[in-house]
Amino acid sequence: MLSAFANSFKIPELRKRILFTVGLIFVSRLVNSVPVPGVDGHALQMLFERMRNQVEGNFAVWFDLFSGGALAQCAVGALSIWPYITAQIVLQLMTAVVPTLGKMMREEGESGRQKFNQYTRYLTLVICVVQGFFLAVSLENAQRLGLGDVALVANPGWGFRLMTVAAMTTGTMLLMWLGEQITDRGIGNGISMIIAVNIASRIPNAIGQGINMFGAAGGGKFNIFHMIGFVGLIFAVTAATIALTQGVRKVPIHTAKRVVANKTYGGQNTYMPLRVNYAGVMPIIFAGALLAFPIMFLNRLPQDWTWAHEIGSRLQYGEPMYLLVYGTMILFFSYFWVATQFSPPQIADDLKRNSSYVPGIRPGTPTAEFLDKSMTRITLIGALALTVIAVMPMLMMKAFSVPSLIASFMGGTSLLIVVGVMLDTMRQIESHLLMRHYDGFLSKGRLRGRR
């Protein structure tokens, strides 16, 4: 593996792409370090420390992890790349509802994808303005967070709000542009890589907390055996995440031979990979975001509404009722994403037009029913595994009092994103190495997607 990294810099084109990617990642980290004027950074840091200690799993703390600490600093990149991802998700889901968008993606080819990307940018701009405004108002009224009177903004008002909206919108649009440039001229998916780097930037802090947890600062609560079990659990969860990300069911596909102008086409055997975790990390993101808003709403109702506060307390992060609802929502959104993005009738029609078929299954409707039944079964396995990985950080925090930052790297969204980005980047680098007759990262076996 080390020789593969060394060989990566022997190929001029690959070396240029890697250095270009590293340079733009450095710029993205600078965007996350420039503070918005008018905000007391020290008071904001103290507020986030209190939120981590008193309200575990608070949505703001969760969002700060994915922004690489930019939200806690109120940097111009505090919104990170999430408005762009939100816009992509909304438009992707709308393709199943709005026929015009679906037709544009399927039938207009490259021009259709360019229009779709342009619509995504416009929607990103709108989302940035809305989220930036609400964030500015929240900073002006920090006491509404329920953690006492904290003065974060020296001069609140429309001047501060407009300045904050302009700064954060500019930061997000710049990060979006950097991500697109990495995808086109660098290595890996730029948008995903920016998020992964933001998450990885918190690893040094997590290591520091881990040292304190097993050291004298931990009060003797954890010993060497706990540390060995803890490290082993991290490796086990990471291995399970890799297996879930890479897992596919190979559906055999046979193409009939055709003779056109004395030339023979088809006649080969291949397979269609049905991913076990087809929805990726999206069900966890949907479930976590949607579950956060009812909790905040219930906690802000009048105090005499005891039933509402009772439900809100039972839905606190890590509580049994929260885990039950959270896991159910992950299962639902796993199937929902497959239902909107995976179309067995369209795949069956494409196979039939190309004179391809699944051995033992008749073309057309029977093939569509077979694919639908197969995808339903493997989605259940993937959704259950995804649920276990998602709740692992909560169980570690509640059962063993593991700090939230350390627990976030033992499963959940952060681990899935980092693992997925690393595997995708390694696949792209390996493809460049193999084309130049260099060895890949593995001397035995192969990365998923390598032929």
Condensed to tens digits (0 to 9), the pLDDT of residues 351-372 reads 888 888 888 888 889 999 999 9
Q: Residue ranges of the domains in the chain?
A: 1-201, 219-410
Give the pLDDT score at 216.
60
Pick the CATH number of 219-410 from 3.40.50.300, 1.10.3370.10, 1.10.10.1100, 1.10.287.110: 1.10.3370.10
Tell me, rounded to whole angstroms, the distance of Cα 160 from its chain centroid: 31
- Identical fold for domains 1-201 and 219-410, yes or no, is yes
Give the pLDDT score at 113.
78
Give the pLDDT score at 182.
92
**Span of 133-137, 143-147, 289-293, 327-331 with lowest mean pLDDT:** 143-147
Give the pLDDT score at 169.
93
Give the pLDDT score at 262.
63
Task: Please give the residue that has the higher pLDDT: either 70 or 382.
Answer: 382
Give the pLDDT score at 446.
53
Q: What are the pLDDT digits (tens) for 281-330? A: 888 878 877 777 777 777 677 777 777 778 877 877 778 888 888 889 99
Residue located via tokens 């407009």:
162
**Span of 9-18, 370-379, 394-403, 439-448 with lowest mean pLDDT:** 439-448
Q: What percent of the chain has pLDDT over 90?
A: 16
3-state per-residue secondary structure call for 15-48? HHHHHHHHHHHHHHHHHCCCECCCECHHHHHHHH
Give the pLDDT score at 147.
47
Neighbouring-strand partners of residue 265: 258
Q: What is the pTM of this model?
A: 0.79
Give the pLDDT score at 53.
53
Task: Please tell me the distance from the alpha carbon of residue 284 to that of residue 241, in angstroms, as a whole number.
Answer: 14
Mean pLDDT over residues 210-220, rounded? 68
Domain 1-201 superfamily per CATH:
SecY subunit domain (1.10.3370.10)
Give the pLDDT score at 58.
55
Helix axes 82-94, 158-185, angle to 10 degrees: 70
Does residue 204 surpass a pLDDT of 50?
yes
Give the pLDDT score at 451.
43
Give the pLDDT score at 27.
93
Give the pLDDT score at 379.
93
